[in-house]
């Protein structure tokens, strides 16, 4: 980092779950463009939405803000109501996207993605879980190491990006895989449980129903009814 303020900002980013950043473009040591580029280029922070505030009323400055990954760009002077509306819209839209991902069995893991860094992160995460799907006890330390992160950084990343703990995300991925296998209509529920790493039928049934508001049996039946009605 380029200044004491910058080092302090990175220290906070490395230890806290940050939901949104508001930064002025003109700052001593490191300007808002550089800060935004730093955050958006680091996989540990790239999911964090950033609002840039500036007195630069030029087309070029606006383009530069978007090029470094800013999620919103507000010119000064501005009203507090405008800033609050931007904050509410950014956070509300992210919540809607996360809810859609969680509640739709076929919503892809890339639905919540906002940056290339996040896309690559989720691709690596999904590939690891897929490769170890049959293991009912995925090692989260090994998973974090595979992603070149500390366990704490991995936890913060998943929590901020998905509003889920690592275990909750893995379980959700298992349920999505189970739903996909049901749609293929080639395996029994017992075989699907084995393929997705569930050793307890009770845990599988309870978790699936909590996720999708119906039992695995009812969901499987609804898919077959849909096929028969075509």
Q: 199 is in which domain, residue-wise?
A: 104-228
- Render pLDDT for 88-115 as a digit per residue (tens, 0 to 9): 988 888 888 778 777 777 777 666 566 7
**Bridge partner residues of 36 (DSSP):** none
47 and 122 assigned to the same domain = no
The Cα–Cα gap between 192 and 176 comes to 11
**Tell me: the pLDDT tens digits for 26-71?**
877 778 888 888 888 888 888 889 998 888 766 676 677 777 788 8
Pairing of strands 72-75, 21-24: unpaired
223 and 111, same structural domain? yes
* Together in a domain, 214 and 110: yes
**pTM value surpassing 0.85:** no
How many domains are there within the chain? 2
Cβ contacts of 150-155, under 8 Å, gap ≥ 24: 153/14, 153/44
Assess whether 111 and 220 both reside in one domain: yes
Indicate whether 165 and 204 sit together in one domain. Answer: yes
| Domain edge (last residue) among 67, 100, 133 | 100
User: 93 and 134: one domain?
Assistant: no
Q: Are residues 213 and 121 in the same domain?
A: yes
Q: Do residues 18 and 122 share a domain? A: no
In this structure, what CATH number is given to the domain that contains residue 193? 1.10.10.60
């Amino acid at each position: 980092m380029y200044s004491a303020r910058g080092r302090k900002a990175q220290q906070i980013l490395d230890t806290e779950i940050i939901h949104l950043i508001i930064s002025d473009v003109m700052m001593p040591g490191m300007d808002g463009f550089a800060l935004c580029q730093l955050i958006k280029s680091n996989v540990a922070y790239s999911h964090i939405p950033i609002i840039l505030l500036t007195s630069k009323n030029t087309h070029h400055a606006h383009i530069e803000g978007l090029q470094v990954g800013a999620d919103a760009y507000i010119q000064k002077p501005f009203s507090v109501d405008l800033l609050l509306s931007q904050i509410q819209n950014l956070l509300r839209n992210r919540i809607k996207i996360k809810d859609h991902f969680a509640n739709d069995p076929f919503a892809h893991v890339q639905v919540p993605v906002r940056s290339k860094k996040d896309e690559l992160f989720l691709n690596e995460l999904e590939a690891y879980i897929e490769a170890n799907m049959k293991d009912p006890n995925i090692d989260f330390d090994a998973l974090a190491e595979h992603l070149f992160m500390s366990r704490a950084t991995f936890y913060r990343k998943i929590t901020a990006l998905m509003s889920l703990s690592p275990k909750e995300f893995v379980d959700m991925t298992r349920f999505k895989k189970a739903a996909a296998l049901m749609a293929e209509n080639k395996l029994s529920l017992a075989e699907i449980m084995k393929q997705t790493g569930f050793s307890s039928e009770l845990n599988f049934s309870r978790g699936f129903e909590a996720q999708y508001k119906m039992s695995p049996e009812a969901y499987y039946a609804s898919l077959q009814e849909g096929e028969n009605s075509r």
